[in-house]
Amino acid sequence: MRVVGTCPPDPDAAWTKVDACETDEKLAALAEKLNADAPENLATAMKEADGVLVQISTDYVFGKEPYNVPCNPDQKGTPTGVYGMTKLHGEQKIIATGCKYVIIRTAWLYSEFGKNFCKTMLNLTATKPQLKVVFDQCGTPTYALDLADAIITILDKVKAAQSKEEYVGVYHFSNEGVCSWYDFTQMIARIAGHTHCDIQPCYSSEYPSPVARPAYSVLDKRTIKETFSVKVPYWVDSLEKCIANLKKMNR
């Protein structure tokens, strides 16, 4: 029997506390178990079931080398911290099992649910007179609903295929376009109508962190679009949908 499995980008299924991994050895070890060992176990199970594992990875597998063009799925991983390294280990362990897999790297995830940058900035721009947000880290926001839709499209293609092997590989998915965290915050405030908050750009060095986050982690999505005919919305359009949904939910 063929089985298709998924490992979602959820706090209970992966360790995402990036800074904590750098300062606490026990948490770093936990991150390795959840981000590398657990996917390896899933991959082993999928191989035994002759299934296909869909694993969500991250742009944090990049960052050590300076980039100024979108990161390609075939590009060598150069993580700058423990979190990115454990996610890269997860990818490598999945591949090493010999199972059929679709690894999808994504970035800057947000949605109407849970804690995320979009919801945090909606609150801060509504309540603070001024904010400083870094402008020297660039990437692309990704609406979780768009990622979910892409995964469904991929699963449908894989299940319908006579040969699953043709779809095995590492892919990238984020929304279209590029922005800094500062640009992202400005657009969140603009869409929400929080015009009273003075949002100022600042350098990452003004807010020291235990880990150096990728300065440029825009993802090249050509392969996932060509292979699966995945539709990729522009990041501002998706942000507008998310904020509109949040307003409906809060009525």
Q: What is the DSSP letter of 76?
A: P
181 pLDDT exceeds 80?
yes
pLDDT value, residue 189: 98
Using DSSP bridges, classify how beta strands 138-139 and 179-180 pair: parallel, antiparallel or unpaired: antiparallel
Task: Give me the active site residues, please.
Answer: 83
Q: Residue 12: exposed, middle, or buried by beta-carbon count in 10 A (0-12, 13-18, 19+)?
A: exposed
Cβ atoms of 179 and 140 closer than 8 Å: yes
Interval 86-126: pLDDT, tens: 999 999 999 999 999 999 999 999 999 999 999 999 999 99
Q: Where are the beta strands (DSSP E) in the chain?
A: 4-7, 52-58, 100-106, 109-110, 130-134, 138-139, 142-143, 169-172, 179-180, 198-202
Beta bridge partners of 141: none
Interval 7-44: pLDDT, tens: 333 333 444 567 777 777 888 899 999 999 999 999 99
- CATH number at 95 reads 3.40.50.720
- Comparing C-alpha atoms, which of 175, 171, 174, 178 is closest to residue 216? 178
Interval 45-95: pLDDT, tens: 999 999 999 999 999 999 887 778 999 999 999 998 899 999 999 999 999
- Helix (H), strand (E) at residue 121: helix 117-127
192 pLDDT exceeds 60?
yes
pLDDT value, residue 77: 92
What is the CB neighbour count within 10 angstroms for residue 133?
21
* Assigned token pair, 224: 């996932």
- Give the rounded percent of residues in the chain with a pLDDT score beyond 90: 77
* Overall domain count for the chain: 1
Q: Which pTM was predicted?
A: 0.90
pLDDT value, residue 11: 36
pLDDT value, residue 148: 98
Q: Please state, rounded to an integer, the average pLDDT across all residues of the chain.
A: 90
141 pLDDT exceeds 80?
yes
The parent domain of residue 82 ranges over: 4-249
What is the separation, in whole angstroms, between the first and last Cα of the chain? 46
* Assigned token pair, 184: 């992202």
